[in-house]
Amino acid sequence: MFNTVSVSLNLNHLRHNYALAKTMAPAAKVFPVLKSDAYGHGLLNIAGGLAHADGFAVLQLEEALTLRDAGHSQPILMMAGVNDRRELAQAQAQELMVVVRSRQQVDMLRALRTQMPLGIWVKVKSSINRFGFNPDEVTDVLRAIEKQHGISVKGLMMHFPSADDLDGELEHQWTDFRALLAQTHLPFSAANSAAMLRDAGTHGTLVRLGSTLYGNNPFVAGTEFNALQGFRPVMRFEARIIGTVRLAAGEPIGYGGSFVADRSMRVGVLGCGYGDGYPSSAVTGTPVIVGGVRTRVLGNVAMNAIFVDLEPVPQAQVDDWVTLWGDERLRIDEVAQHAAVRPEAIQCGLTKKHAVRLIGEDELCGA
Ligand SMILES: *Cc1c(COP(=O)(O)O)cnc(C)c1O
């Protein structure tokens, strides 16, 4: 098959990012967050690239079992906890750590009749208000479960509602949680990527590292944050030029004719569109790199085609590869900003659409 799209994952960059996070949070365990198929990078691609990680964080049992089947024996945190007693038994058998965030889950734990050990994190609600207990419910929950045989409470967990917004204070987002820590003297896990970078006080004993691990900017679009400079893009997305056309001044290109040439110009047609995972909302001016030169998208993205300005790159020709993102010079964040979406929203599902090339896989041995 003639491929017009290429997805590659740089595992050296992945390991570099993980090691960098570890130096930033030296006292904590750092768990790569692998939900949504590792943010679209592929669960086992990422876990395999980080075979020596302190542990992994997933949402559901199925992901944890996939990791165990692949031979990953380190701690695994199930951030959504278990859905029923069968899952609870499996979590015990596989030595998973489970989050407890609902009354039903507390009841399941209380009904346990086995002696098998089970590590528990009790989730406390933040203003995201999705899951977890109100701070004033936590002592009851702890009392209800800590006498159960086998159960060991590893700590209290919370998730910041807006650590990604540097204009807002972090402090007040976890005032209640800190009061609870002072009262219970339990270890805690609070930090996602943004909180880890902002405040070492949030690290606790377990950092849950998502976006930054993959080299994405964890802050709201457009935020420059120096600490991110050291993190490298893991996923690279490229497309081939499948045709070139010359537009005369006044001619439109693409559906809807939103772009009209103001002079004669050479345009490249890429064999990739929103059907292949490029964001359909990317607008004229979204950067791409052709032959090492930054140029731009023209007009609307089609299902299987993107039009790019080849005026700055006269040497570009059919079959050349174009970087759509994942170069140190063109991060996905920039594309996401032009498309008005989060970078992760673009990445999710990508490796399910395309074959993935792993770079640096051979360097795993002895790592
Ligand atoms: C997704 C998620 C994370 C990781 O967040 P990033 O901002 O991507 O680092 C951490 N904790 C929980 C509970 C999550 O759902």
Of 154, 146, 144, the C-alpha closest to 123 is 154
Query: What is the DSSP code string of 60-124?
Result: SHHHHHHHHHTT--S-EEETT--SSHHHHHHHHHTT-EEEE-SHHHHHHHHT------EEEEEEB
Number of H helices, E strands in the chain: 12, 18
| Alpha-carbon distances, residue 123 vs 78, 101, 109, 154, 211 (angstroms) | 12, 5, 15, 11, 21
What is the distance in A from the centroid of ligand 1 to the CA of 336? 19
**Is 154 among the residues known to form the active site?**
no
Residue 16, both tokens: 């570099």
Q: What is the pLDDT of residue 227?
A: 52
Q: What is the pLDDT of residue 190?
A: 97
Q: Contact 231/212 with Cβ under 8 angstroms?
A: yes
**Is 125 among the residues known to form the active site?**
no
Residue 137, both tokens: 């419910």
Give, for all 367 residues of the chain, the pLDDT tens digit: 789 999 999 999 999 999 999 999 999 999 999 999 999 999 999 999 999 999 999 999 999 999 999 999 999 999 999 999 999 999 999 999 999 999 999 999 999 887 789 999 999 998 777 789 999 999 999 999 988 889 999 999 999 998 998 888 998 999 999 999 999 999 999 999 999 999 999 999 999 999 999 999 999 877 775 556 799 999 999 999 999 999 999 999 999 989 999 999 999 999 999 999 999 999 999 999 999 999 999 999 999 999 999 999 999 999 999 999 998 889 999 999 999 999 999 999 888 899 999 999 876 544 4
Report whether residue 211 contacts ligand 1, using a CB cutoff of 6 Å: yes
3-state secondary structure of 34: coil
Q: Contact 311/320 with Cβ under 8 angstroms?
A: no
Helix (H) or strand (E) holding 55: none
Q: Contact 145/112 with Cβ under 8 angstroms?
A: no
**Tally of residues, the chain:** 367
Task: Point out the ligand 1 atom lying closest to the alpha carbon of residue 39.
Answer: 8
Residue 185, both tokens: 């003297």
Handedness of CA 100, 101, 106, 108 (dihedral sign): negative
Catalytic residue among 18, 22, 29, 35: 35
Catalytic residue among 29, 125, 147, 255: 255
| Alpha-carbon distances, residue 44 vs 11, 69, 261, 349 (angstroms) | 12, 10, 45, 14
Question: CA-to-CA distance for 323 and 27, rounded, in angstroms?
Answer: 38
What is the distance in A from the centroid of ligand 1 to the CA of 195? 10
Q: Contact 272/307 with Cβ under 8 angstroms?
A: no
Question: CA-to-CA distance for 281 and 279, rounded, in angstroms?
Answer: 5
Report whether residue 125 contacts ligand 1, using a CB cutoff of 6 Å: no
Of 258, 352, 270, the C-alpha closest to 308 is 270
Q: Whole-prediction pTM value?
A: 0.95
Of 159, 207, 216, 332, the one to substitute when testing ligand 1's pocket (max ligand atoms within 8 A of C-beta) is: 159
Query: What is the DSSP code string of 158-227?
Result: ---SSTT-TTS-SGGGGHHHHHHHHHH---EE---HHHHHH-GGG-TTEEEE-GGGGT---SSTT---GG
Report whether residue 343 contacts ligand 1, using a CB cutoff of 6 Å: no
Of 246, 122, 137, 266, the C-alpha closest to 190 is 122
Report whether residue 192 contacts ligand 1, using a CB cutoff of 6 Å: yes
Report whether residue 123 contacts ligand 1, using a CB cutoff of 6 Å: no
What is the distance in A from the centroid of ligand 1 to the CA of 264? 48
Task: Point out the ligand 1 atom lying closest to the alpha carbon of residue 209.
Answer: 9
